Amino acid sequence: MQRVKETVREYLLLTLGTFLVAAGVYFFKFPNSFNTGGVTGLAVILNAVIPSVSASTFASVINIAFLVLGFLALDRGFGIRTVYCSVLFSVMLSGMEWLAPMASPLTDQKMLELFFAVILPSLGSAILFNMQSSTGGTDILAMILKRFSSMDIGNALLCVDVLIAASTLYFVGIEAGLYSVLGLVLKSVVVDSVIESLNRRKSFIAVTSYPTETCGFITHTLNRSATCWKAEGAYSHETKWVVMAALSRTQAVALRLYLKSTDPHAFILVTNSSEIFGKGFMRA
């Protein structure tokens, strides 16, 4: 039952992430011809060359084509979550085009629209990346290249994205091209920041004289685990205990307040960490 709940929660988050990407792309990227690389960037370029076919249609076709290529070049289990999000992304784009046709941008504020064109897909992508998934497209190409070559995939895809974004200068126009290059820069910063924020936890280390009470509070009240070991003060030579735990922000505050009341002389180190692997945290 617990496993079913976790699976339902995972797919709800995958759906939310995909929706944010699709909404940002359809309502803000495509109407303004913003191009930050990837499949949607190619769709913007193709739409500029063949205006009779919508960018949403191009994006859906390219995405499905990469999906088929993934099945042919990789084994069928190359990523069920990526398959789910890739198909869902194409369906959402088509659904939005049918439910809310866009003849022009929502506003005449280009910079405002650029922010939403970057923030919504970046937030959605961060949620998906955090769950080891994506909306497919060039990510599938990266999986294929990684399997059949020894090239630096990250740098190669970055160069491709820059080339696709810069091509907007020629195919669409100077203004759209400059906005696209700016959007690509903002996208890389925002995605990294959001992923780090989603994963941020507290590394909590306390030097205390009450290890049993401290560990008891962590395990029974906070429902976390801890590691403790005996230590000796370098100056006082007094025997102390070091307790280490990985906690959420709220749990770290609760433990700090608890130690303040039970052991006012405890020495506490609390640091931010966005990469904690193990049971209860991210998968290694």
What pLDDT is attached to residue 5?
81
Q: Is residue 279 part of a domain?
A: no
- Which CATH number goes with the domain that contains 262? 3.30.70.120
Phi, psi of 25 (to 5 degrees): -70, -50
| Domains contained in the chain, number | 2
Gap between the Cα atoms of 199 and 132, Å rounded: 13
Other Cβ atoms less than 10 A from the Cβ of 254: the count is: 16
Gap between the Cα atoms of 186 and 10, Å rounded: 27
Other Cβ atoms less than 10 A from the Cβ of 55: the count is: 27
Mark whether 152 and 103 lie in a shared domain.
yes
- Residues in CB range of 227: below 8 A, 6 or more apart: 243, 244, 245
Q: What is the pLDDT along the chain (284 residues), one digit of tens a residue?
A: 767 888 888 899 999 999 999 999 999 999 999 998 888 999 999 999 999 999 999 999 998 888 888 777 766 555 788 888 888 999 999 999 999 998 889 999 999 999 999 999 988 888 887 777 778 777 777 667 766 766 665 666 777 788 888 899 999 999 999 999 899 888 877 776 776 676 677 889 999 999 999 999 999 999 888 999 999 888 888 889 999 998 888 888 889 999 989 988 899 988 887 666 666 555 54
Q: Which of 138, 171, 198 is the last residue of a domain?
A: 198
Q: Is residue 282 part of a domain?
A: no
Mark whether 239 and 217 lie in a shared domain.
yes
The H or E element that residue 257 is part of is helix 249-262
Mark whether 114 and 228 lie in a shared domain.
no
Beta bridge partners of 239: 232
Q: Which of 151, 179, 198 is the last residue of a domain?
A: 198
Other Cβ atoms less than 10 A from the Cβ of 177: the count is: 20
Mark whether 81 and 178 lie in a shared domain.
yes
Q: Letter for the amino acid at 96?
A: M
Mark whether 155 and 217 lie in a shared domain.
no
Mark whether 144 and 252 lie in a shared domain.
no
Domain that holds residue 252: 200-273
pTM comes to 0.74
What pLDDT is attached to residue 196?
66
Q: Which of 198, 227, 255 is the last residue of a domain?
A: 198
Beta strand extents in 215-254 (DSSP E only): 227-232, 239-247
Q: Is residue 284 part of a domain?
A: no
Q: Is residue 237 part of a domain?
A: yes
Mark whether 6 and 23 lie in a shared domain.
yes
